[in-house]
Every structure is written in C-alpha cells, then in structure tokens.
Amino acid sequence: MNISEDKTICFIIKRGNKMSKKGKTAKTIAIMIILGFFGRILGFFRELLIGSKFGSNAKTDTYFVAIASISLFTVMVTNTLNTIVIPILSDIEKKDGKLSKIRETNNILNIFMLVSLLLIVISYFMSPYIMKIVGIGFKSKEQYELGITLMRIGLPTIFFASIQGVLRGYLQSEESFKETSVISYPFNLIQIIFLIVYSTIFGVKGLMIAFVIATGSQIFLQIYSINKFKFKYSLYINLKSNYIKKIMYLIPGILLSIGITDLNTVIDKSMASTLKDGSISALNYAEQLAVSFRGILIGAILTVTYPIFSKEVSKSNFINLKKLIIHSINIILIITIPSTIAIIILSEPIIKIVFERGKFNETATLMTCGALVYTIMRMTFSSIRHLIQNVFYSLQDTKTPLIISSLGVVINVSFNFILIGPMEHRGIALATGISAFFSSFMILFLLKRKIGSLGLSKSLICTVKCLFSSIIMGVIIHCLFNILLIKLKLSIIISFMISTVVGGIVYLLLIYFFKIEEFRMILDLCINYIKKRKTQR
C-alpha cells in the first residue's frame, strides 16, 4: 500500500510509505481517539452535573450567555493563534532551524500575552454594552447585572487562551497531538469537583470561577508536554521580526473567519434569550452533546490532517493533497452519516440518560431533545467545512474562509428570523444547520476553483452507500430499541446499548458489502496491525 497505488489514506494512517520516528500516524489517531473519548466522557459528566445541580432556567441561561460572550474572545484567540502558528513555525524550522523556531515562538507568545491583557481591560469596561446585545431578551435587571458579573469573572480566560493557542501550535508543529486530547481532563475534573462539593454554596458565580481556574490549569499540561522538545521560555520580544509581520498580515482574515463562525453561537443565544426561560440552556446542552460526539468521532482526524496538509503544500505536492482531501472527506462521511441518524432516532433516550435527574426535569428533556435533533443534523457538513477550511489555511489563504463564514452568518441569521416563530429554539438549531449545509458546499466549490478538480464523484458515491446503509441501520435501531424497552421491559440504558451495538454491526457489514474503499483500507490496516502484534509476542 503506497502513494503510487493511489492509497493516500496512508497519509492519514501512515504519513507516507515510511513510518516516522514517532510511529505511525494511525497509532497517533488511535491514541487521540481513546484519550479524547475519556475526555468527552468527563465532559458529559460535567454537563450532567450542571444540568442536575442548576437545571434549565433563567440563571443557567444567563451563565451560558456569559460563557458564549467570553468564548467569542477565547476561541478566536486560541484557534487563530493555533491555526497561524503551525505553518509559520514549520516554515521557520525548515529555513532557519530549531533554535530560531524556539526564539520566534517566545516572541509570538510574549507579544500576544500583552495583547490579551489589553483585551481583558477593554472587555471589562465594555461588558455592560456586550451584555445588552447578547442578552437582549433578559427578563429583569437582576438577570442583566448577573450576566455582566459572570462575564467579568470569566475574562482572565482570554489571557490563558493566548498562551494555549501558541503552545498548542508549537506542539502540533512538532507532530505532538496527545495534548489536544488530554487537555480537557483538568478542565473537566476541576469543574466536576466544584459541582459536586461547592455548587450549592457558591452557585453560578462559583461555577464561573471554577471555569476560569479549569481553563488556566490546562496550561500546566502544555508546559509539561512542550518541555519534552527542549523548549525554553524567554522574555524575547521583537516587533520588527519578519515572521511577526507575516502573522499580523494573516491574523485579520483568520481572526474574522473564526470570529464570525463563533458569532453564530452568540447570535443564536441572543435570539434564544427572547424565548421562554430554559431555551438557551436547551440549545447549550444540545450543542455540548453535538460537539462531544463530533470530537469523539472525527476530532482526531481533523487535528492530525491539518499539519499534513501544510507539509504537502510546502512541497507543492498538490496531487497527493487532493487525494488526501477526498479520502479524509470519505472517512468523515463513513463516520458521521450513521452517527447522525442514530443520534436523531435515539435523541430522547440520550437526553434522559445523560441529563434527566435532579433539577433537570421532563420539560427540560423535551426542550433539549428538540434542540439536539436539529443541532446534530449539521455534524457532517460542519466537519467537512472545518476540514476544507484547514486546507485553505495550509495554502495561507485566509480570505476564502472569511467569505464563507460571513455568508454562513447571513444565512444563519436569515433563517433564524424565519424559523424562530414557528419552531422556537428548535428553529434556531435548524437555521445553524442550514447555514452549515450551504457553507460546506460553497467552500468545496471554491477549493475546486483554486486547486482544480478534486474527484468529488468518489465522495458522492460514498455518500449514497453510507446513507443507504445508515437508513437500514436506523430502522433496525428504532425497532429493536422499542422492542427491548417496551415489550421486554429492559432498562433504557440496556436497550440503548444493545440497539446501538446491533445497528452498528449491521452498518459495518453493509459498507463492507458495498466495498467502500476507505473502510476496507482501514480494516486491512487494523487486521495487519493485529497480526503484527501477535507475531511480536
């Protein structure tokens, strides 16, 4: 299996014909999926506790609005720096060596720590005005003032975000990806401890403080990881550096692109604040579940492929880049299409299992279930859009993702106004899905114009096969779950587990029967790996 045989899935699985010094990329992805899975389980437990301790009401709505307002800054800072730093540092190391790479990393880190402190000060004084916009539907002065207080408490996370973005970019430029999977451990554990021990004493303000401490704790993991690469921190600052100038040139496009994407979330919550109490919380719980599912299923693939895209672009190897893109899209389709259908069918039992206890009652379950169905519909499209955005960033094209993100916001807001009346908070979730659908097709079309034909007919065939197999799987899951739960009187958890396992097996058999190339490649690699392990014993 090699490149000349059109087996470029090996870029995802093996990084070419040879194993790197750090082992196969397949092993990296497997480790990331496993570590990420346990991190997501902790995240599930955190959200479960928030739902149980605080329920779905005006206070939780205010907390989630404040989190969304802060995240608009933190996610922009972290993702922008991470996205820019990876190709820049790879370029520095290739041209000037490792010591220059470390020096420029310190330069970037110090400059953006100072910028983040300035942003915190500005945001502190602007918080009342920000809260008037994002909390436009708040019902009382007390809720508005609580929102301002919560936002101000959470502002230090902007400083932590600037550090995390640079350090993560450095680690991934060294092809070290484990940090991405395990960094959620301290973040979730600290909040879980607070929720179990202190939530009844300190309430939502204490929860925001725990959020800040949890965010800061992630940096210690990054420091531990980065020390393995002999990185040494220094107070080096050089504003005249050519690389800083290049970063400053690239930042506006990426910052706006990422910021506009996250602005969708803020707009959704702002519009949901005009609906009945609990609507924002329902959207948030559904979004957290959807993000967790996507992170578990394809987060590792999106993370690992981006540096590979950058390396292929740096070598001007566009033939292999295109093959890698198509294989990556097909793997996303194989994973996300059946997952979407299964989650839609089992949305109510999922919410009951994860959230329905304590202050999270049946009404909250129904509201969150309605949001989850429409939120999860966009998983395939948002995953593909994210993948193709990374291709553009590896090409150092920040303008195209910005245009797509801007159009996505326009589509999202337009459909929000159309659907919020008849569908309430579910309409907001559906509007975001419609936006993701159009955005994914538009960005694929523009990539084709930029680098030529991608061979998307292969992905279309893969989509049809996966969709047909998933529909059959969905029918089996639906029927089997109801038989086990209603007729055989088994518990909801046992019924859920059996039906999903049986449905999953049926799906895998069907796509094997349909001879989907990427699935057979991965299966062959797994079989060969098992055989190799046995011979080594």
Q: What is the DSSP letter of 486?
A: I
pLDDT of residue 353: 87
pTM listed for this prediction = 0.71
Count CB neighbours of 6 within 10 A: 11
Reading the block at residue 408, the tokens are 């996505």
Dist CA 222 CA 209 (whole Å): 21
Maximum separation of any 2 CA atoms in the chain, in Å: 73
Mean pLDDT of the chain: 83
pLDDT of residue 1: 38
Dist CA 344 CA 30 (whole Å): 26
- The contacts of residue 72 (CB under 8 Å, 6+ apart) are 259, 262, 263, 265, 266
Q: What is the pLDDT of residues 27-47, one digit of tens each?
A: 666 666 677 777 777 887 888
Structure confidence at residue 25 as a pLDDT band (50, 70, 90): low
Reading the block at residue 409, the tokens are 């916001």
Q: Which residue has the higher pLDDT, 17 or 370?
A: 370
pLDDT of residue 31: 67
Kindly state the average pLDDT of the residues 206-231. 90
Q: What is the pLDDT of residues 61-112, one digit of tens each?
A: 888 888 888 887 787 777 777 777 877 887 788 788 888 888 888 998 999 8
pLDDT of residue 534: 66
Amino acid at 364: A
First-residue to last-residue Cα distance in the chain: 25
Reading the block at residue 65, the tokens are 């609005």
CB-CB contact of 396 with 243 (8 Å): no
- The contacts of residue 501 (CB under 8 Å, 6+ apart) are none
Q: What is the pLDDT of residues 509-530, one digit of tens each?
A: 999 998 888 787 777 766 776 6
Q: What is the pLDDT of residues 479-497, one digit of tens each?
A: 999 999 999 989 999 999 9
Kindly state the average pLDDT of the residues 216-241. 88
Q: Which residue has the higher pLDDT, 220 or 74?
A: 220
- Whether 128 shows a pLDDT value over 70: the answer reads yes
Structure confidence at residue 6 as a pLDDT band (50, 70, 90): very low
Amino acid at 259: G
